[in-house]
Structure 1
Amino acid sequence: MQLQEHYNELYKKSSEIILAGKYTLDSQINDETDSRFGITLLIRPNEAIKTNIQLFLDELKAIDPSQYYYPDSDIHITVMSIISCYEGFSLDKIWVPEYVEIIRKSLLDLNEIKIEFRGVTASPSAIMIQGFPTDESLNNLRDKLRENFKKSTLEQSIDRRYAISTAHLTVVRFLEKLQNPKQLIEITDKFRDFDFGTFMVDKIELVYNDWYQRERNTLQLEYFDI
């Protein structure tokens, strides 16, 4: 399935669910006892794109400020969840340099990664910005990571939940009952084809993170210039 088709299908199904009041709330966002942690390889968009995203979020906040809106510091594309977040994971369970070595190996001969952010989509519990890599470089990197980690004996959970194939940015999670689902969908409809910007990826980060990639709970483990 083409990426645009995937985003379209997701939006159609999810907007119907939201309008029917059958959306899902995330009950753990404000749970201070949430101990789900993992390690992730990620990309952060540039400042211009984040500025455009906040313009979109400002419109949503105006009609429903009670939801969870991602701050600039937390907005990211997941390249790969190396170890998906689970309760009780901590860095003393692994030797980080071994992970860095495999990632460096996977980055060899990597072509430029350029991503266009255009339009929005949704899930039954969140709103996302649609990301479109301009070629196969990101998918090629993911395939190399899969291959190299599966050859190793290191702890990893790549593709265990699902095989990642998109380049979206999650920017809203539903925390409380939606105050006006109809208006929310009207705003997302307005931004369905909005051009949030295009950027060339210049670095990738390996981080230790919580489920929501909140800055206060994120530890930078390594930067990789590309």
Structure 2
Amino acid sequence: MNLAEHYHKLYTESIAKISSGDYETDHLIDDEADQRFGITLVIRPDAATKDKIQQFLTEAKAIEPDQYYYQNADIHITLMSIISCYEGFDLKDIHVGDYIQLIKQVLARHKHFKIQFKGLTASPSCILIQGFLTDTLNEIRDDLRAAFKNSDLQQSIDKRYAIQTAHATVIRFRSELANIDALLSLIEKYQDFDFGTFEVKQVELVYNDWYQREKFVKKLYQFSLS
């Protein structure tokens, strides 16, 4: 996959929809009864990169204060959704140690790698930071797919879509946009902004809600890459 082309296509299609008012709002963000949970392998950007992301988000908040903005603790890249969030999933349903052992065996074969966050893309419901990755990340994903396929562990890898990018969602639309033109101008301003390049030395296995909010996330294990 050519990531630059993929992100650009997503950007042009989504911005056209947003500008015409054909965007989607997520009303479950504020629903305290939302019980969608799962387990995910996530990558956390470094502090310097997250600070640059917050610089953009601060400007966006001034334009659209009622939307949902990711705080630093929640910003992440999904390496692999092991069990996609669904209503009623509970950690008691699985044996976490088995997942840790399998993932540990896969990651032992891989070294640390870098990801660059540069520019923005969009979907009809959110704004994303574009992540550019090395071959290592997708090699890890392929090895995880094979390992879980050959196991008896509950998983839903690739059920929704086969993940191939390294983006991070940073804004979700939770209500009607009040200043679409100003928001789109800001997004265009940051379209090629370099948010930073960071080294991925750790990967976290977490129990999480749909939005990866810190108050719901439980870190199950932190793996180190050699």
Cα distance in 2 for partners of 1:83, 1:109 equals 23
Q: Where does 1:78-117 land on structure 2 (aligned, <5 Å)?
A: 78-117=78-117
- 2:134 pairs with 1:156: no
3-state SS in 2 of match to 1:21 = coil
Q: Which runs of 4+ in 1 moved over 6 A?
A: none
Amino acid in structure 1 at the alignment position of 2:75 = I
- CA displacement 1:60-109 (0-9 Å, x = unmatched): 11111000000001000000000000000000000000000110111122
Identity of aligned residues (%): 56
Q: Which residue of 2 aligns with 1:208?
A: 207
Q: Deviations over 1:146-165 (max 9, x none)?
A: 00000001100000000000
- Supply the distance in 2 between the matched residues of 1:31 and 1:57 (Cα, whole angstroms): 23
Q: 2:165, 2:183 → 1: CA distance? A: 23
Q: Distance in 2 between matches of 1:97 and 1:112?
A: 23
The alignment's TM-score, normalised by the length of structure 1, stands at 0.99
Measure, in 2, the Cα distance between the counterparts of 1:130 and 1:42. 16
Aligned to 1:57: 57
- Per the alignment, residue 74 of structure 2 pairs with 74
Alignment: residue pair count:
225
Q: Report what 1:45 is aligned to.
A: 45
Give the aligned partner of residue 130 of structure 2. Answer: 130
- Secondary structure in structure 2 of the residue aligned to 1:7: helix
1:224 corresponds to which residue? 223
Separation in structure 2 between the aligned mates of residue 57 and residue 190 of structure 1, nearest angstrom: 13
Corresponding position of 1:2: 2
CA distance in 1, matches of 2:212, 2:109: 29
Q: CA deviation at 1:183?
A: 1.0
Alpha-carbon distance in structure 2 between the residues aligned to 1:120 and 1:48: 17
TM score, norm. by length of structure 2: 0.99
Query: What is the alpha-carbon distance in structure 2 between the residues aligned to residue 225 and residue 109 of structure 1?
Result: 11
Partners of 2:100 and 2:221 in 1: how far apart?
A: 7
SS in 2 for 1:32: coil
Deviations 1:176-195 (CA, angstroms, capped at 9, x unpaired): 10011111111000000000
Task: State the match for 1:197 in structure 2.
Answer: 196
Q: Which runs of 5+ in 2 are unaligned?
A: none
Offset from partner CA, 1:115-143 (integer Å, 9 cap, x none): 0000000000000000001x200000000
Structure 2 CA distance for aligned equivalents of residues 109 and 211 of structure 1: 30
Distance in 1 (alpha carbons) for counterparts of 2:73 and 2:112? 24
Counterpart for residue 141 of structure 1? 140
Alpha-carbon offset, residue 112 of structure 1: 2.4
SS at match of 2:215: helix
Instruction: Please give the alpha-carbon distance, in whole angstroms, between the structure 2 residues aligned to 1:206 and 1:174.
Output: 27
Distance 2:19 2:208 in 1: 32
